[in-house]
Chains A and B, each alone.
Chain A
Amino acid sequence: MSIRNLIDITDLTVEEIDQLIATAEDIIENPVKYQDACAHKQLATLFFEPSTRTRLSFESAMLALGGSVLGFSEAQSSSTAKGETVGDTIHTVSCYADIIAMRHPKEGAPYAAAQFSEVPIINAGDGGHNHPTQTLTDLLTIHREKGRLDNFTIGFCGDLKFGRTVHSLVNALSRQSGIKFVFISPEELKMPDYIKETVLDKDSLPYEETASLEEAMPDLDILYMTRVQKERFFNEADYVRLKDTYVLDPEKLVPAKSDLCILHPLPRVNEITVSVDRDPRACYWKQVKNGKFIRMALIMKLLGIRV
């Protein structure tokens, strides 16, 4: 059997994503049924870049499946600090683990890793490029909140240029029917042309681009907020100028729909005020929780384990 990796969200078919969501929802309902599913299996979490949620949710997911975890949480504590290549690191770790989840600041590092690995590779975020397991988390949350993955208007707000979670989610939703995309960003952080050309224009999917969150708000069924990421800028002055372009607060939510679903991949800095957390439309803490369950489903799938 050939190794299955998850490098890009399109590595999974729409049907496979539906199955993963169904499995995750079953895990939520019946956690005990899955508690030994990955007994004696080991997950390596290789984080060459800092993370709280993604790494811990992967580790929590594997532990909840009865497996164990090993790895590192910063490049400085691995041989990368000595100049070891991604290929050699992966070659080594695939001798010790059954599956690898990796985050790396360079775009395409997981694609490179897959060329050297003897076990499945999961992309846990590669620079400003892709973040497919966050997308699975987002899709599970949308499904649980809206009961469907089609026929809605979704607004993406903030850093759409380097927002890897945005790129992966747009890619995934482009395969559903009846989705209208609204891209809300400053000029400097607009959605990259390659996403518009290869994902949206290719199938003539409708989208709007605007700089005004206020104008877009009344039409949205889902609002996906993002952080302007300091670590993606070569020039700090640009970051300082752009970081507080959008701040979602209760006042801005006044014209929004009553069943709006507010998502954010987190961490947040200033782009959503803490007072919004009390609004029932805020779903980002549910997203955090869902991240563990969908990763449990994914680990089982890539290891070929069925319960």
Chain B
Amino acid sequence: MNIDSIQNGVVLDHIQAGKGMDVYKYLRLDQLDCPVAIIKNARSGHMGKKDIIKIDSPMEVDLDVLGYIDSNITVNIIRDGVRVEKKHLKLPRKLVNIIHCKNPRCITVAEPQLDAIFLLSDEDKHTYRCAYCDTEKRRKL
């Protein structure tokens, strides 16, 4: 199978196998007008299998969203067919309007126009808590 290499754009590598479409949806890549390729189950030295997403257009990837989804993903920035930058992700300390609180007693449920803010509470367990009501949210892709 041939997937053209891209000239100017972004390659999201080391996505957990089978999760490429979820990343695609979280980043709202369906709204892009440029070619986007999702490669599923590509062979990987240390992962066995992995998914890859290639976006054939320069764009700002929301690293907070991506870090929350899977901090093992690497973001490669391509210029003139050459990788000029490789970004490693980490779990963001603060998430704004990425996930939302489900606690019916939380003010953000009653007033959804408020920013949904979650703060990292346990890095090892990938746990976030609503900044308003402390309700827990474990990272789940």
**Pair B134/A109 contact, Cβ less than 8 Å:** no
Chain A residues touching B, majority SS = mixed
Known: A86-B107, A107-B107, A108-B106. A129 touches B134 (CB 8 A): yes
Q: Name the residue of chain B whose CB is nearest to the CB of A197.
A: B122
CB-CB nearest 7 A-B residue pairs: A108-B132, A107-B133, A106-B107, A108-B133, A108-B107, A109-B107, A111-B132
A173-210 interface mask toward B, CB cutoff 8 Å, 1 = contact, 0 = none?
Answer: 00000000000000000000110011000000000000
Q: Is A269 part of the binding interface, using a Cβ–Cβ cutoff of 8 Å? A: no
Asked if A87 and B114 make an inter-chain contact with CB atoms under 8 angstroms apart, the answer reads yes
Closest chain-B Cβ to A273's Cβ sits at a distance in Å of: 31
A87–B130 Cα gap in the complex (Å)?
A: 18
Assuming the contacts A106-B110, A111-B131, A198-B121, asked whether A128 and B105 have C-beta atoms less than 8 A apart, the reply is yes
Q: Could you tell me how many residues of chain B have their Cβ less than 8 Å away from some Cβ of chain A?
A: 20
Q: Which residues of B contact A151 (CB under 8 A)?
A: none
Chain A residue numbers with a CB within 8 Å of B132 are 107-109, 111-112
Known: A85-B111, A86-B107. A108 touches B130 (CB 8 A): yes
Q: A112-B111, A112-B114 are in contact. Are A106 and B131 (CB under 8 A)?
A: no
Q: Is A127 an interface residue (CB 8 A)?
A: yes
In the complex, which residue of chain A has the Cβ closest to the Cβ of B131?
Answer: A111
Q: Are A85 and B113 in contact (CB under 8 A)?
A: yes
Distance to closest chain B CB from A307 (angstroms): 35
Q: Which residues of A contact B134 (CB under 8 A)?
A: 107, 129, 194, 198
Distance, CA A93 to CA B88, complexed state (A) = 45
- Residues on B with C-beta less than 8 A from A128 are 105
Note all chain B residues with C-beta closer than 8 A to A127. 105, 133
Chain B CB within 10 A, most for which of A85, A112, A193: A112
Q: Using a CB-CB cutoff of 8 Å, which residues 91-128 of chain B contact chain A? A: 103, 105-108, 110-111, 113-115, 121-122
Whether B111 and A86, one on each chain, are in contact in the complex, defined by CB atoms closer than 8 angstroms, is yes
> From DSSP, what is the main secondary structure of chain B's interface residues?
loop
Closest A-chain residue to B108, C-beta based?
A108
Nearest neighbor of A192 in chain B, beta-carbon distance: B134
Given A107-B106, A129-B134, 8 other A-B residues pairs in contact with their CB atoms under 8 A: A106-B110, A108-B133, A112-B107, A112-B111, A193-B136, A194-B134, A194-B135, A197-B122
The answer to whether the Cβ of A104 comes within 8 Å of any Cβ in the partner chain is: yes
Flag A56-92 by CB within 8 Å of B: 1 or 0 each: 0000000000000000000000000000011100000
Contacts of A111 in B (CB 8 A): 107, 131-132
Contact A106 B136 (CB under 8 A): no
- Residues of the B chain whose Cβ atoms lie less than 8 Å from the Cβ of A106: 105-107, 110
Chain B residues whose CB sits within 8 angstroms of the CB of A129 once the complex forms: 105, 133-134
Q: Which residues of chain A come closer than 8 Å to B122, judged between CB atoms?
A: 197-198
A106 to B111, CA, bound (A): 10
Which residues A253-303 have CB closer than 8 A to chain B?
Answer: none
Chain A window 112-143, contacts with chain B (Cβ cutoff 8 Å), 1 for yes, 0 for no: 10010000000000111100000000000000
Q: In the complex, A111 Cα to B122 Cα: how many Å?
A: 21
The chain B residue sitting closest to A129, CB to CB, is: B133
Chain B neighbourhood of A198, CB < 8 A: 121-122, 129, 134
- Closest CB-CB distance, A161 to chain B, in whole Å? 12
